[in-house]
A and B are shown apart, each in its own frame.
Chain A
């Protein structure tokens, strides 16, 4: 079997030791001549088997062709700019753990990009089977710079400046420039050992040696020194806790006009719909703290729970870690969803081409799109009709509701079509059926829409 008639995965082209391709719906990795020796060592050393057994590496199996392995597919890939703080931290810890474990098997992790990690089952998992190569005596960790740019700089900026600094990842797929991180971090970070070494002095050294053409002698390293480096980095990164920034959406459920009874009704109704549909994939747009993702997770094989708020996504990750490993949290702004990025805009996929489900939910979301985002009704319809293959459940919140009144407080009401009749009419353009479910003691309405 060869990759000739196959589709090469656009994000897999940098490493000459191999690449990933898809053929007949299955995912494979081709090991090139250059990568054969290292991959053989990776298998023989028992490292590959150990990492797969521990759930840290995507499972794979050999094929009839000894230079091709078949990979188990992760159903929904998320990228670092779609993660919460703790997800990025846990991905960093996994990378360090793999680097340390590899060292114990006389191998080294040759790259440390955050794009080698994704999340499945509520935990980080490493995707690059070609990252492990033989450890040459005296050589240091060549991926140190990448680790600082992909993990330490964004984590420190999120922790000490603002959670929204993660957005810089979209602009810098090669990792955060260290000189920029050094300038953005507060002055007091110069007094802290790890930020001082890995960011500030690192940025200065990069600048000093960036234009040099002469050969510089780099001091020899040893496994003991590398263990100390990995161990201390691990110790430091594991202590980076979520900064707990107060955000607009964190108290959403505590600050609305729902009574206990009608919130319970809404939960029960969503539960009934999810049970009836038992979808393979459910998508919860504007998931907030995950109240409805949790319900969907009981009946769906997987739930993609998206929210604009980094604190909400942090909560969704906690939910995935503890009770519902089938929840895939994702940080997403529907007004500016993740675009295709990188080489030819195809290296990292856009959100919509990765995310589709039999059930798409948008609860207490539509009025934000229509009124805050000025989305025309047909765009809202297009969003749900484009993402679902079967059913969408949305909530209509009328102008009389305090939430909508708040949105209209400081702007002109130009939303003449924000009535239940107009909304139903718009959805009926794309959806065959529309079941209206009034929420008792409120003017809110659930709409169950079927294509």
Chain B
């Protein structure tokens, strides 16, 4: 590494990566619940025609 990464920068980056990992996890969970809900809704739908 030929550039100065900066101690403060590496610390804030570690914190940011931690926050974003939690955020991604949270998004995956909500996406899963949404998918379940949609599947259920589809199952209850009436077929016309």
Contact = CB atoms under 8 A, between A and B. Distances in A.
Interface of A: 14-17, 110-111, 133, 140-146, 148, 193, 197-198, 201-202, 204-210, 212, 216, 218-219, 221, 224-226, 228-229, 231-232
B29 to A, nearest CB: 14
A212 to B, nearest CB: 7
B21 A219 contact: no
Contacts of A140: 5, 10, 13-14, 17
A219 B7 CA distance: 11
Q: In terms of DSSP, what is the predominant structure of the interface of chain A? A: helix
A110 B24 contact: no
Given A142-B1, A193-B19, A205-B12, 19 more contacts: A14-B3, A110-B1, A133-B1, A140-B5, A142-B3, A144-B5, A144-B10, A145-B4, A148-B9, A197-B16, A202-B12, A205-B11, A209-B6, A218-B11, A219-B11, A219-B18, A228-B21, A229-B13, A229-B16
A172 B30 CA distance: 42
Contacts of A141: 13
Q: In terms of DSSP, what is the predominant structure of the interface of chain B? A: helix
A228 B23 contact: yes
Contacts of A193: 19
A218 B12 contact: no
Contact of B5 (A15, A145, A205, A226): A145
Contacts of B43: none
B32 to A, nearest CB: 17
Given A142-B3, A143-B3, A218-B7, A198 B16 contact: yes
A209 B9 CA distance: 9
B17 A228 contact: yes
B23 to A, nearest CB: 7
Contacts, number: 93
B8 A206 contact: yes
A236 to B, nearest CB: 10
Interface of B: 1-21, 23-24
A207 B3 contact: no
A205 B6 CA distance: 10
Contacts of A202: 8-9, 12
Nearest to B3: A111
B12 A201 contact: yes
Given A16-B2, A142-B5, A225 B10 contact: no
Contacts of A201: 12
A219 B11 CA distance: 7
A111 B12 CA distance: 17
Which 10 pairs across A and B sit closest by C-beta, in order of nearness?
A205-B8, A145-B9, A209-B8, A142-B5, A225-B17, A232-B20, A228-B20, A228-B21, A209-B7, A144-B13
